[in-house]
Chain A
């Protein structure tokens, strides 16, 4: 009898779980939120929600770029260098030229630079088929070096007027008797970007191509995908996303510092991998990535609220990463064993 029910149960469970364990992640998030609300009543406020969302703005855009690269089977550690390169150089350019290109102008200039730097990554990786980790490690050093050695090493506090205006703009501001809660306006373009990237991945041939390249580059080539072109394009896209995040970072931080964003790469990669993207490529979703970023943000935020020193954040993210990836690895192992057993039984 139970055998008859098994398929139904399986279907239900797997739909709830999602293709990349998004359901599990959402459940973990929910449990964490409930636990936090029970431990500290001050947690469960609109203000906390808005501050977590604000904190997730830059990491989410970074994560989208990293997601694309990871789906294609690569790994990118140069995106933070690209981001600050584009963000800082744009401010520096406006300062040197003594003009304010306007918010759109700033994003266009920065994204142009990001595209160019991404093209360097993509061209080297696709043309010579080198290990993506090592190429981006190299370009990371080059980009950061060029920025500090030749473009500027000064901390700039006077942003162009359009940028400083954007830094204080909120779309929702709720005033209660003791606290004010603000939702920053930059949440809007980030949500739009998430939708756009999700559509790009699921709804376009290019997006399918990224999955195909990540699954098996040779198979993708034989299936008629232009692997080299897809790889170059996706690194350009990742560069543009990184540059976009760099400008967001400058706006939210209200300063341009060429030394900023150093060492945040691995946190982002951890969040993307937690979100169910496979480091071997071919798997991953925008929903999972957003949930992964929110999980890391929530953990960072809740540790402070519970009174755990911020210094433990690094350790917490490390443990989270190992547990998350470990579960994935073990279940993959079990699955491959099951396939093996089935084959044996079939034969």
Chain B
């Protein structure tokens, strides 16, 4: 009798314990997320306020604000793709090369058909864009294969695919800029819905879709767990192979969408477009609260980080500072945010041993 009682007690205690663990875990996760979001919101408002105060005439001009909204999507979509790779504890250096590859594919095929029959090219436009997206998805899948199946470190695998895709695109275009993007895309980039550029709405739509993928689907949960603790993920029966393949497939697809935005906004394609974006995109992902060693990220944080950096860039422009000074600012912001995070993280934890080592992840 008393034994049963004890057992029951232990069971309840165990259940309570598990419940407590779980709620504590989700609470911690929320704090982590909220911290990223609040910090980003403060930074966003601060940078906006700063430049609005310093150069109100130039900065608050509706044209300037519209420019910010039109320039954000291409970087933002790439940053979301980078975030996905980072959540699994990886990185995707090939993302800009994938975007350019898709853009070059679309432009070449479209102008090839348009040279013979413009009407047909316009009619086939959706199919051609789809072809570009499929190429990007295949490139992403190849990354996933190298990382998930062969077992190459993400940084090296995507470094290799970056070189390969970039090289093929250079050969294909003879290193020149291609003209002749589909007119329908260019027209789409010029439309506005109640004053908001359609491209920006497109970006928000993608962000929402990825947010749903991350937070409401089992794949999202799996990829977060994969990044938080690969070993635990493995023992809970998650196939890291499949998770990594799907993650890089999605990030490749996002790269393709960014490529579509490239040519919509600026109807040219080249192998070297946006080569400085790789750094920028990593900065945005980390700034948006993505943990570079995996496990934590929020799409909202990344979207706000995109806007913040776009505002800083546009503000630097308004203040007539050079792009090189903007590149200094990027580096300083990146390191400052990481140092700040590290200090806060340390302070919030009692120093168990001075010798705690963060893995020096490449």
A residues contacting B by CB (< 8 A) are 72-75, 124-125, 128-135, 137-142, 144-146, 148-149, 213, 217-218, 221-222, 227, 263, 266, 269-270, 273, 279-281, 309, 311-319, 321-322, 325-326, 329-330, 332-333
Q: Collect the chain B residues with CB atoms within 8 Å of residue A332's CB.
A: 151
Q: Cβ of A329 and Cβ of B151 under 8 Å apart?
A: yes
Pairs across A and B, CB under 8 Å, 18 listed: A73-B360, A74-B362, A132-B361, A137-B283, A142-B331, A145-B326, A148-B322, A149-B328, A269-B159, A273-B156, A279-B155, A311-B167, A312-B171, A314-B163, A314-B166, A321-B160, A326-B146, A326-B152
A312/B328 contact (C-beta < 8 A), A132-B360, A318-B162 known: no
Q: Cβ of A326 and Cβ of B328 under 8 Å apart?
A: no
A141/B330 contact (C-beta < 8 A), A315-B164, A318-B161, A319-B160 known: yes
A73, A139, A149, A311: the one contacting B362 at CB < 8 Å is A73
Q: Cβ of A315 and Cβ of B168 under 8 Å apart?
A: yes
Report the Cα distance A311→B283, complex, angstroms: 30
A312/B167 contact (C-beta < 8 A), A128-B342, A145-B324, A146-B328 known: yes
Q: Collect the chain B residues with CB atoms within 8 Å of residue A222's CB.
A: 355
A130/B339 contact (C-beta < 8 A), A142-B331, A318-B163, A322-B146 known: yes
Q: Collect the chain B residues with CB atoms within 8 Å of residue A326's CB.
A: 146, 150, 152
Q: Cβ of A138 and Cβ of B150 under 8 Å apart?
A: no
Q: Cβ of A319 and Cβ of B164 under 8 Å apart?
A: yes
Q: Collect the chain A residues with CB atoms within 8 Å of residue B164's CB.
A: 314-315, 318-319, 322
Q: Cβ of A134 and Cβ of B327 under 8 Å apart?
A: no
Q: Collect the chain A residues with CB atoms within 8 Å of residue B335's CB.
A: 124, 130, 135, 138-139, 142
A141/B331 contact (C-beta < 8 A), A217-B360, A218-B355 known: yes
A311/B279 contact (C-beta < 8 A), A128-B338, A319-B160, A332-B151 known: no
A74/B360 contact (C-beta < 8 A), A309-B171, A319-B160 known: yes
Cβ-based interface call for B139 (8 A):
no
Residue with the highest number of chain B CB atoms closer than 10 Å, among A125, A141, A281, A319: A141
Q: In terms of DSSP, what is the predominant structure of the interface of chain B?
A: helix
A325/B166 contact (C-beta < 8 A), A138-B332, A141-B279, A221-B355 known: no
Residue of B nearest to A221 (CB): B355
Report the Cα distance A145→B282, complex, angstroms: 17
Q: How far is the CB of A289 from chain B (nearest CB, A)?
A: 16
Q: Cβ of B357 and Cβ of A129 under 8 Å apart?
A: yes
B residues contacting A by CB (< 8 A) are 91, 93, 146, 150-153, 155-157, 159-164, 166-168, 170-171, 174-175, 275, 279, 282-283, 286, 292-293, 322, 324-328, 330-332, 334-335, 338-339, 342-343, 355, 357-362
Q: Cβ of A137 and Cβ of B334 under 8 Å apart?
A: yes
Q: Collect the chain A residues with CB atoms within 8 Å of residue B355's CB.
A: 218, 221-222
B151, B152, B171, B339: the one contacting A322 at CB < 8 Å is B152
Q: Collect the chain A residues with CB atoms within 8 Å of residue B338's CB.
A: 128, 130-131, 134-135
Q: Cβ of B171 and Cβ of A145 under 8 Å apart?
A: no
Report the Cα distance A131→B294, complex, angstroms: 12
Q: Cβ of A321 and Cβ of B156 under 8 Å apart?
A: yes
Residue with the highest number of chain B CB atoms closer than 10 Å, among A72, A131, A312, A325: A131
In the complex, besides A131-B361, A315-B164, A318-B159, 12 extra interface pairs with C-beta distance below 8 angstroms are A133-B361, A138-B334, A142-B331, A145-B325, A149-B322, A213-B360, A217-B357, A266-B163, A279-B155, A311-B171, A313-B167, A318-B161
Residue with the highest number of chain B CB atoms closer than 10 Å, among A72, A135, A148, A318: A318
Q: Cβ of A142 and Cβ of B332 under 8 Å apart?
A: yes
Q: Rank and list the top 7 A-B pairs by shortest CB-CB distance, nearest first.
A: A318-B163, A315-B167, A314-B167, A145-B328, A141-B331, A142-B331, A318-B164
Q: How far is the CB of B322 from chain A (nearest CB, A)?
A: 5
Q: Cβ of A266 and Cβ of B151 under 8 Å apart?
A: no
Q: Cβ of B167 and Cβ of A279 under 8 Å apart?
A: no
Residue of B nearest to A137 (CB): B279
Q: Collect the chain A residues with CB atoms within 8 Å of residue B343's CB.
A: 128
B168, B286, B332: the one contacting A134 at CB < 8 Å is B286
Q: How far is the CB of A325 from chain B (nearest CB, A)?
A: 5
Residue with the highest number of chain B CB atoms closer than 10 Å, among A146, A217, A321, A330: A321
A140, A149, A322: the one contacting B161 at CB < 8 Å is A322
Q: Cβ of B360 and Cβ of A149 under 8 Å apart?
A: no
Q: Cβ of A280 and Cβ of B163 under 8 Å apart?
A: no
